Chain A
Amino acid sequence: AQSVTQLDSQVPVFEEAPVELRCNYSSSVSVYLFWYVQYPNQGLQLLLKYLSGSTLVESINGFEAEFNKSQTSFHLRKPSVHISDTAEYFCAAVGAAGNKLTFGGGTRVLVKP
């Protein structure tokens, strides 16, 4: 079965500083990877996804994640965060033949002014 590990439960960061959220998944022959964001009192929104092709994927609001097969990682980065990026971020994975997402435990990002 697929498993996803997010090593950091909380990441405090100052506004305009860079942030990296770590995500590792259990090895699988073929895997799709996702990052979701959950703003306070809201549902999950898809931030970005890796299905195939280029290992670097980007979102429209400045986040990017790199699929690293050898390290079974899919870390999320943003070079300069805003106050509005305060949220919880979830990494998720599914095997290519799977029918359900497996989520990590989440990383809470608190952006301080």
Chain B
Amino acid sequence: NAGVMQNPRHLVRRRGQEARLRCSPMKGHSHVYWYRQLPEEGLKFMVYLQKENIIDESGMPKERFSAEFPKEGPSILRIQQVVRGDSAAYFCASSPDRSLEKLFFGSGTQLSVL
């Protein structure tokens, strides 16, 4: 059973481009969480999704950021028109249910905006 898979591992974008980050949860996990880790800071919650539904997006910036978790395929975190302040490590975690006791994290995507 592979762990939570995130790709790409590193992503470089120029200001104004789009960034698409992918997360394949562990087998049997239907709950996905996205967190962002800014330099020298802890992880900050962004969004919580369950297959085809956004449950809690209270941590998502109001503009340029969106997330989806379709019935088939990975969860996608999409950042449009990236700015330098978007440079961070983005972590995905998955769980078989909403209890958070069995949460597993991926290795993250390091986004660098030039």
Answer whether residue B69 sits at the interface, using C-beta atoms and an 8 A cutoff: no
Cβ contact within 8 Å between B43 and A90? yes
CA distance A44 to B94 in the complex (A): 12
Considering only residues 59-81 of chain A, those with a C-beta below 8 Å from chain B are none
Answer whether residue A94 sits at the interface, using C-beta atoms and an 8 A cutoff: yes
Cβ contact within 8 Å between A90 and B91? no
Cβ contact within 8 Å between A100 and B56? yes
Interface string of B93-114 (1 = CB under 8 A from A): 1000010110111111000000
Answer whether residue B55 sits at the interface, using C-beta atoms and an 8 A cutoff: yes
Question: A90 — which chain B residues lie within 8 A by C-beta?
Answer: 42-43
Cβ contact within 8 Å between B56 and A51? no
Considering only residues 24-69 of chain A, those with a C-beta below 8 Å from chain B are 32, 36, 42-46, 49, 51
Interface string of B75-100 (1 = CB under 8 A from A): 00000000000000001010000101
Cβ contact within 8 Å between A44 and B101? no
Considering only residues 77-113 of chain A, those with a C-beta below 8 Å from chain B are 90, 94, 98-106
Cβ contact within 8 Å between A100 and B45? yes
Q: Nearest chain-A residue to B41 (Cβ)?
A: A105
Cβ contact within 8 Å between A51 and B101? yes
- Set A4, A45, A99, A105: member contacting B98, Cβ < 8 A: A99
CA distance A100 to B45 in the complex (A): 7
Cβ contact within 8 Å between A103 and B43? yes
Question: A42 — which chain B residues lie within 8 A by C-beta?
Answer: 107
Interface string of A1-37 (1 = CB under 8 A from B): 0001010000000000000000000000000100010
Cβ contact within 8 Å between A100 and B43? no
Question: B41 — which chain A residues lie within 8 A by C-beta?
Answer: 105-106
Residue ranges of A at the interface with B (Cβ–Cβ < 8 Å): 4, 6, 32, 36, 42-46, 49, 51, 90, 94, 98-106
Sorted from nearest, which 3 A-B pairs have the closest CB atoms? A43-B107, A103-B42, A44-B105
Residue ranges of B at the interface with A (Cβ–Cβ < 8 Å): 4, 6, 33, 35, 41-45, 48, 55-56, 59, 91, 93, 98, 100-101, 103-108
User: 28 A-B Cβ contacts within 8 A?
Assistant: A6-B42, A32-B100, A32-B101, A36-B105, A42-B107, A43-B4, A43-B6, A43-B106, A43-B108, A44-B43, A44-B91, A46-B103, A49-B101, A90-B42, A90-B43, A94-B100, A99-B48, A99-B98, A99-B100, A100-B48, A100-B100, A101-B33, A101-B45, A101-B100, A101-B103, A102-B45, A103-B44, A105-B41
